[in-house]
Amino acid sequence: MSETIKALTIRQPWASAVALGLKLVETRSWPTHHRGLLAIHAGAATDALSLLGDPRFSTLPPRGELPLGAVVAVAWLEAVDLMTPESIEAAGETERGLGDWSAGRYAWRFGGVVPITPASRPGALGLWSWETTPEAWAACRLLAAQDGRPVAAPPTKAKKCRVAGCLRSMHAQGFCATHYSSARTWIRRDRERRSWSSPELTARLAGGTTQ
């Protein structure tokens, strides 16, 4: 049975930098109350590829070998701190070069990271749920047992897609990955009148159309 943990999508090469322990802090414009296990997902888009030529990060894979659209590691989210001029200065030059360290943003601090064999999966905005692979769940238990942390109990079984008749696990906004993609397209056509909670959206998806 698959176990479910929270996941965060990060662009490459940042995701691989986290997986390899080069980047210890993820910088975000928003905080979270979540702490503990967190899957690190490499998004389909890339960013700051000049980083690959920096000798300080020579262990990063070449551009053509960067995993895209896949979970690449499991981390332990230790803390989320509001950035201040003092904390930005204390971060050090190397860490500041691996994120947007602007006052008022948030530093997501990892207390441990275990890289895994890339597991293909579409990403999503914000925190989302991911059903772990056996390898990833073993990494989760390893992280949970470090530094006196209690061994994590199996998380809640993944919820199912809210579309009637769909048995796939929920990916984001109450939908599986397939229906989430279709729903996002439908909403973008008219953002003023359409929303994720619209009964019309769910009915259209159940009928196989978002036209």
Q: pLDDT band for position 157 (50/70/90)?
A: low
- pTM above the 0.85 mark? no
Residue 154 has pLDDT above 50, yes or no: no
Residue 174 is predicted with a pLDDT of 79
Which residues are CB-contacts of 21 (< 8 A; sequence separation ≥ 6)?
113
Which residues are CB-contacts of 50 (< 8 A; sequence separation ≥ 6)?
none
Of 19, 137, 33, give the one whose Cα is nearest residue 67.
19
Residue 155 is predicted with a pLDDT of 46
Residue 93 is predicted with a pLDDT of 86
Residue 135 is predicted with a pLDDT of 93
Of 52, 60, 77, 66, give the one whose Cα is nearest residue 20.
60
Of 76, 74, 78, 77, give the one whose Cα is nearest residue 136.
74
Residue 156 has pLDDT above 60, yes or no: no
Q: What is the mean pLDDT of residues 3-19?
A: 92
Q: With contact defined as beta carbons under 8 Å apart, do 124 and 172 qualify?
A: yes
Q: pLDDT band for position 210 (50/70/90)?
A: low
- What does 141-190 look like in DSSP terms, one character per residue? HHHHHGGGPPPPPPPPPPPBPSSTT--SBP-BTTB-HHHHHHHHHHHHT-
CA atoms of 203 and 154, how far apart (whole Å): 33
User: Which one is predicted more confidently, 69 or 61?
Assistant: 69
DSSP state of 61: P
Please name every residue paired with 172 in a beta bridge, in sequence order, or none if there are none: 175
Q: pLDDT band for position 99 (50/70/90)?
A: confident
CA atoms of 200 and 194, how far apart (whole Å): 9
Residue 31 has pLDDT above 90, yes or no: yes
Query: Which tokens in the block code for residue 131?
Result: 């059903």
Of 77, 99, 87, give the one whose Cα is nearest residue 22.
99
